[in-house]
Amino acid sequence: MAEIRLEQLAHRYGGRAAPATDYALRPMAHVWEQGGAYALLGPSGCGKSTLLNIISGLLAPSEGRVLFDGRPVNDLTPQQRNIAQVFQFPVVYDTMTVYDNLAFPLRNQGQPRDTIDARVREVAKALEIEGVLQRRARHLSADEKQKVSMGRGLVRDDVAAILFDEPLTVIDPQLKWRLRRKLKEIHRRFDVTMIYVTHDQLEASTFADKIAVMYDGQIVQFGTPRELFENPRHTFVGYFIGSPGMNLLDVSRDGDIVTLAGAPYPFPRAWREAFAGQAGRRLQVGIRPEFVSLVNAETAPLTGTVAQVQDQGTFRIVDIRLSTPAESVIKARVAEEVTVPEGRVGIDLPLTWLRAYADDQLVEVAHEDS
Amino acid sequence: MKIRDNRAWWLVLPVFVLVAFSAIIPMMTVVNYSVQDIFDPSTRYFVGTEWYREILADPRLRDSLLRQFLYSACVLAIEVPLGIVVALSMPRRGLGVPVSLILLALPLLVPWNVVGTIWQIIGREDIGLYGWLINHAGIDYNYASNPRDAWITVLVMDVWHWTSLVALLCYSGLRSIPDVYYQAARIDRASNWAVFRYIQLPKLKNVLLIAVMLRFMDSFMIYTEPFVLTGGGPGTATTFLSQTLTQMALGQFDLGRAAAFSLIYFLIILLVTWVFYTAMTHRDDMR
C-alpha cells in the first residue's frame, strides 16, 4: 500500500543517446494516491504499458524518478517494490494446479500454510474459480486462465499496488462486466492502490475513480470521468472520450473579425479577447454532440444541412454539414422524440459548453454576465 | 448403402513400394537369415529359434549389452543436464547469438570417423594435447592400455560431439517462451530455481523428449568413434553392441547368429524408446 509519485519521469527506448523525438514517455510528473482506483486510458502505442512497466520495475526509466511513499525505488526490482501485475494475456504455470498457481506468490514469500490456504480460497471465491482449484492450469479455457492470472495478482495482501495491463482483452463481454465489478469490490475490501490500463473508455470509467488520459507519451488530463467529459483539457481528451467525441471547429482571426469554420461568428467579447491572447497558435472551439441543439435556421448564427442521421436506439446522432466555406461536419445528439428537420437547420452552440483550444490545449475564457 | 471407393489405395502404393524396399524387404531378409543355417546359396537348413537361444546364452553378448546400457546411461546423464545448462547460459540477443550458435554447431558437422581420429591424436600421451597435459599434471593416463581411461575418452568424445545437439534443441525451446512469463515470475517473486522448474522445464519438455530419444538411439548404436579410437579395446573394454555384431557378421561370417542378434538389438531399442516416450508423455493426460 503506497502512494506512487513520478518525478521528471521520461523514457526513451534507445536510452539517453536516442534523439528527442524518440520519447516513448515525454517528461512528466504525476501522483497516484494510496488506495485509489485509477485507470490509464489511451490509444495503442501511447505509452500506457511503458508507464506501467516503469512503475512495476520491469523497465528502468531513462530519466527521472519513481517514488513509493516518498522513497525512490528506481533501483529496486519488482520483487523489492512489492508490486503485483496482471498482464494482457494470461500467464499461468501450466504444470501446476489452479490452487498451486494462486498459492505460488505466497509460497515464494514463505507464508504459513494456513494463511496461504485461507487467502487462496478467498480469492478463488471472489473470482468464481473455486470449482477448478484442483484442475491443472493448462486444461483451462482462456478466460479461466486469465482469472487465475488475476488471482495471482490479488492473493498477496501486502502489495504496494496492483497494476493491470488490459487484463480483460481475452474475456468475453458478459464476463468482462462482472469481473470489473469484482475488481472494484476487491479494491474496496483490500484498500490497495490499483492502476488499470485500458483503451476502452467504458472500462476505464466503470472501474476508476480517476482516469489519466494518455496521448503521445504524455498524460494529457487526469480527472474524474465527469471532468473528462465536461471539461476536456486537451482536444485529444475531447474526441477520445465520449461517443461520438467532441466536435472541433477551426477558428481564425482577421483583425477584429473572428471566423468559425470559415464564416464570421458573433463571439462575445471575452471570447474574442481570449483568442486575441493566443496569437500565432492554432485556434479551435470544441463542443460535445450532447450540447449541440438544432434551432430555427432563420435566426441562428450558424446553419447547415442534415447529411446523415444514425439511430442509436435511445437517441440519434445527426451529422450536419455546415454552410460555411470550410464545410465542416458537426455532430449533434438528439432525443428520439425530436423531429429532425430535413434540409437546412440552424445550430446553437451554448457558450456554457463551448470550449476554446489553442494548439490543442484548453484556453480559459472568462464568463460574462450578459 | 455405403459406397466404398478403394481407388485411394493406388495413391498409397508409391509409399508402400518405397518402404518395402527401404525397410520391409531388408528386415525380412534378416528375419530369414536368423532362422536358418546357411553354408552356401544351395546349402541351407531351417534351425528355428536355435540362434536366438544360443545368442541369449552368449556371455559375449550379455557383456557388451551391459556395457552398452551403462554407456548410454552415462551419455544421457551427462549430455542432457549439460545441454540444458549450456542452453540456459547462452545469450538471448545481440552478436553473441550467431557466434554461439555457430560454435555449437561446429562439432555436429564433423564426420564420425574424423571425430575418432581427432581424439585418437589429441589423447596420445606423446604428441596429443590432452594426453600430454594430463600425464604432465601427474595423472597416469593412457587410453590404449588402461580400460578406465579408454572408457572415459570415448565418453568425453561423445559429450564433445553431441552435447551441442541437446543444447541447440533446448535453446530453441527456451526461445519460444514469451518474455511475459519471466516478467510474471519476477512479479510473483519466483526464485531462479522456480523459474526453471515451473516455466522453463515444462516448455522444454517436448524438445527434451526428442533430445533424449535421439541421444539414446544414437549412443546405443555407436560404432565408428570407438572403432576408430580404440578398436574396441583394450581387451573388450569399449566393444559396444554394434561392434560385437559387426565382428560376428563380417569377421566370423556367422550370418544366422548375427541376424538373430540384430533383431534382438532392434527390439531393445524399440522397447526402450517406447518406455521413454510413454513415461515422458503419460503424465500429461492425467487430470
Residues B204, B122: contact at Cβ < 8 Å?
A: no
| pLDDT, chain A, mean | 85
pLDDT at residue B272 is higher than 80: yes
Model confidence over A124-155: pLDDT tens digits? 888 888 888 888 888 888 888 888 988 888 88
- CATH, range B59-285: 1.10.3720.10
Q: What is the nearest CA distance from B192 to chain A, expressed in angstroms?
A: 11
- As a whole number of angstroms, the distance between CA A105 and CA A162 comes to 14
Confidence class for position A370, pLDDT limits 50, 70, 90: very low
DSSP A38-51: EEEE--TTSSHHHH
Tell me the shortest Cα–Cα distance from B193 to chain A, in angstroms: 11
Name chain B contacts of A161, Cβ cutoff 8 Å.
none
Percentage of residues in chain A having pLDDT higher than 90: 11
Note the pLDDT of residue B287. Answer: 43
- What ipTM was assigned to the predicted interfaces of this complex? 0.74
Distance from CA of B243 to the nearest CA of A (A): 43
A244-363: which CATH architecture? Beta Barrel (2.40)
| Percent of chain B whose predicted confidence (pLDDT) is above 70 | 98
Inter-residue contact B173 to B203 (CB < 8 Å): yes
Q: Give which of B268, B265, B239 is closest to B251, Cα–Cα.
A: B239
Interval A165-190: pLDDT, tens: 888 877 778 888 888 888 888 888 87
A91, A96, A108 ranked by CB distance to B184: nearest: A91
Note the pLDDT tens digit of each residue in B157-189.
899 999 999 999 999 999 988 888 988 888 888
Set of chain B residues whose Cβ sits within 8 Å of the Cβ of A87: 180, 183-184
Which of B180, B188, B194 is nearest residue A152 as measured by Cβ atoms?
B188
Between B211 and A257, residue with greater pLDDT: B211
C-alpha cell at B53: 537361444
The residue ranges of every structural domain in chain B are 59-285
pLDDT value at A369 more than 60: no
Q: What is the pLDDT of residue A5?
A: 87
Q: What is the pLDDT of residue A239?
A: 86
pLDDT of residue A180: 83
**Hunting for cell 474526441 — which residue is that?**
A239
DSSP string of B82-131, one letter each residue: HHHHHHHHS-SSSTHHHHHHHHHHHHHHS-HHHHHHHHHHHT-TTT-HHH
Are A55 and A83 contacting, i.e. CB atoms less than 8 angstroms apart? yes
Backbone angles phi, psi at A347, to 5 degrees: -125, 130
Q: How confident is the model at residue A307 (pLDDT cuts 50, 70, 90)?
A: confident
Residues B198, A89: C-beta atoms closer than 8 Å? no
Instruction: Give the pLDDT of residue B78.
Output: 94
Cell readout for A110 is 514463505
- The lowest-confidence range among A278-282, B237-241, B275-279 is B237-241
- Alpha-carbon gap: B70 to the closest alpha carbon of chain A (Å): 32
What residue spans of A26-110 are helical by DSSP H?
Answer: 48-56, 78-81, 98-109
Shortest distance, CA A95 to any CA of chain B (angstroms): 7
Mutate to test the interface with A, among B177, B179, B183, B187 (most CBs of A within 10 A): B187
- The residues on B that touch A, with CB distances below 8 Å, are 180-181, 183-184, 186-191, 194, 198-199, 202, 287
Inter-chain Cβ pairs, chain A and chain B, closer than 8 A: 52
Per-residue model confidence (pLDDT) at position A18: 65
A94 and B202 within 8 Å at the Cβ level: the answer is yes
C-alpha A330/C-alpha B262 separation (Å) is 87
* Superfamily in which the A4-238 domain is placed by CATH: P-loop containing nucleotide triphosphate hydrolases (3.40.50.300)
Contact B86, B100 (CB under 8 A): no
Mean pLDDT of the B72-82 span: 93
Helices A113-126 and A142-154: crossing angle, nearest 10°?
A: 130
Q: Residue B199 and residue A83: Cβ atoms within 8 Å?
A: no
Centroid of chain to Cα B177: 28
- Which of A17-21, A88-92, B54-58, B165-169: highest mean pLDDT? B165-169
Delimit the domains of chain A by residue range: 4-238, 244-363
Residues of chain A with Cβ-Cβ distance to B285 below 8 Å are: none
Which region, left, alpha or beta, applies to residue A233 given φ > 0 means left and ψ of -120 to 50 means alpha? alpha
- Chosen for mutation from B189, B200, B280 (greatest number of chain A CBs closer than 10 Å) is B189
Task: State pLDDT tens for residues B101-155.
Answer: 999 999 899 888 888 888 888 888 788 888 888 888 878 878 778 888 888 888 9
Can A4-238 and A244-363 be said to share one CATH topology? no
